[in-house]
């Protein structure tokens, strides 16, 4: 989760790790409620000083009021995402998994899911078809391990094109392009007008560039082109590398070697005309761009070759609400009741509109909701709801060795030191280590 990577240094992190879940900081306001009924704790990074945390506090207060005497939910929060993930792993290993917790799903490491410590949600969803229908079946399938549904999809941030309508218009572009070849032609117009066509970067995790690369690869080779276990030395990856090289040439001068901060700043300051990023960018758009609604949102182009349906999304990795396996049926009922409430349309709308946090559920906004939502959030939800497929970004599923080599591979590609064919070969070799 890009905007949650706060640094926690020295003894603070050490104390948090050693203390496990009990070190989590209470998310002020949602605290103890009335203290009546069966109590459950929610562990996440939704602190009260960020919008999604404030909305979570409000929803918990509402839930506790509606279930007074039966259930009480208490929010505990750890702001640093990596520390939170380690806390969860440590508590599961120690046999004291949190009641409900938000974690990052990794299909290459199922140690948590196969620990035997997590609750199976299968019967709860099968008993409520309407609730089950709110989730994408692909996500439910991914979270079904050895016949058990080991979590509830929490969020899977779609990476979409954010583009500056004014800069497009100045370059003579009337509409966002439908194909990648059209996009490259428009990108040249933007470059000729004096701005970078797209914000890209090669440092750190090469986030913005790898979003583009993932869209290019899936547009050419289909949804499974870089699925775990795939041979990455294939024609679709080669074509994606070729088009990525072209995009880097049409980006800003600091794209090669640039990081996330520089890349996003270039877009927000009007030095580039488009960027592929997650919904966390919206708050920066609202606070930085003078006319925020001049920034549009669009699904990525395709190659119009029938390999994948237009309108699909490439996403960040899936974050999941897991729960401890319970022997106390009242506590299990409380967990299920809370999750049904939290993933209801009313709650999801509130999280999206007020918390700037789109959840991994079907979210339908009324006309009044759309009036309250930011220009971009309404478009993000419309695109996400209509998306025929959601595919996790390539860098989130390759090996750590391959991830580590991506910046240098992309830089050598951009500088002409590596051909697209060599890029694919080297990437596959790194991923096979």
pLDDT-flagged residues of the chain (< 70): 1-35
How deeply is 310 buried, as exposed, middle or buried, from its count of CB atoms within 10 A (0-12, 13-18, 19+)? Answer: middle
∠ Cα 37 41 47 (to 5°): 130
Distance CA 399, CA 418 (A): 21
Q: What does each C-alpha distance from 289 to 283, 343, 391 come to in angstroms?
A: 10, 32, 30
Q: Are 119 and 332 in contact (CB under 8 A)?
A: yes
Note the pLDDT of residue 283: 86
Note the pLDDT of residue 114: 95
Domains of the chain: 2-157+318-364 (3.40.190.10), 158-314+390-431 (3.40.190.10)
| DSSP assignment letter at 157 | P
Helix or strand (DSSP H, E) at 390: strand 390-392
Dump pLDDT digits (tens) for 79-131. Answer: 998 899 999 999 999 999 999 999 999 887 899 999 999 999 999 999 999 99
Residue 150 backbone zone (phi > 0: left; psi -120 to 50: alpha; other: beta)? alpha
Note the pLDDT of residue 8: 33
pTM: 0.80
Dump pLDDT digits (tens) for 185-209. Answer: 999 999 999 999 999 999 999 999 9
């Amino acid at each position: 989760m890009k905007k949650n990577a706060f640094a926690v240094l020295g003894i603070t992190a050490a104390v948090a790790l050693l203390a496990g879940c009990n070190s989590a900081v209470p998310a002020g306001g949602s605290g103890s409620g009335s203290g009546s009924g069966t109590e459950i704790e929610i562990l996440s990074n939704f602190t009260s000083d960020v919008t999604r945390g404030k909305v979570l506090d409000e929803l918990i207060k509402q839930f506790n009021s509606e279930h007074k005497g039966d259930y009480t939910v208490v929010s505990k929060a750890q702001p640093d995402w990596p520390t939170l993930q380690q806390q969860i792993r440590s508590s599961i290993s120690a046999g004291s998994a949190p009641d409900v917790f938000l974690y990052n799903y990794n299909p290459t490491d199922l140690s948590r899911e196969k620990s035997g410590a997590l609750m199976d949600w299968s019967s709860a969803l099968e008993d409520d078809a309407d609730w089950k229908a709110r989730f994408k079946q692909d996500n439910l399938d991914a979270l079904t391990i050895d016949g058990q549904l080991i979590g509830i999809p929490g969020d899977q941030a779609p990476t979409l094109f954010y583009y500056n309508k004014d800069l497009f218009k100045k370059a003579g572009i009337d509409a966002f392009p439908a194909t990648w070849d059209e996009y490259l032609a428009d990108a040249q117009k933007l470059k000729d007008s004096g701005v970078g066509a797209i914000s890209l970067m090669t440092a750190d995790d090469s986030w913005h560039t790898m979003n583009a690369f993932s869209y290019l690869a899936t547009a050419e080779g289909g949804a499974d082109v870089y699925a775990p276990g795939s041979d990455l030395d294939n024609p679709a990856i080669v074509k994606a590398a070729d088009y990525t090289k072209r995009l880097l040439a049409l980006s800003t001068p600091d794209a090669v070697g640039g990081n996330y901060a520089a890349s996003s700043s270039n877009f927000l300051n009007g030095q580039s005309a488009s960027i592929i990023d997650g919904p966390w960018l919206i708050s920066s758009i609202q606070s930085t761009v003078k006319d925020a609604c001049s920034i549009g949102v669009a699904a990525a182009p395709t190659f119009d070759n029938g390999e994948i349906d237009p309108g699909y999304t490439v996403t960040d990795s899936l974050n999941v609400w897991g729960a401890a396996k319970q022997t106390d049926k009242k506590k299990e009922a409380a967990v299920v009741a809370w999750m049904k409430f939290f993933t209801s349309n009313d709650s999801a709308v509130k999280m999206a509109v007020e918390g700037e946090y789109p959840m991994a559920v079907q979210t339908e906004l009324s006309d009044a909701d759309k009036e309250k939502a930011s220009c971009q959030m309404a478009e993000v939800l419309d695109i996400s709801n209509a998306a025929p497929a959601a595919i996790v970004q390539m860098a989130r599923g390759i090996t750590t060795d391959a991830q580590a080599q991506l910046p240098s591979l992309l830089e050598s590609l951009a500088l002409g030191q590596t051909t697209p064919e060599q890029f694919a070969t080297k990437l596959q070799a790194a991923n096979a280590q």
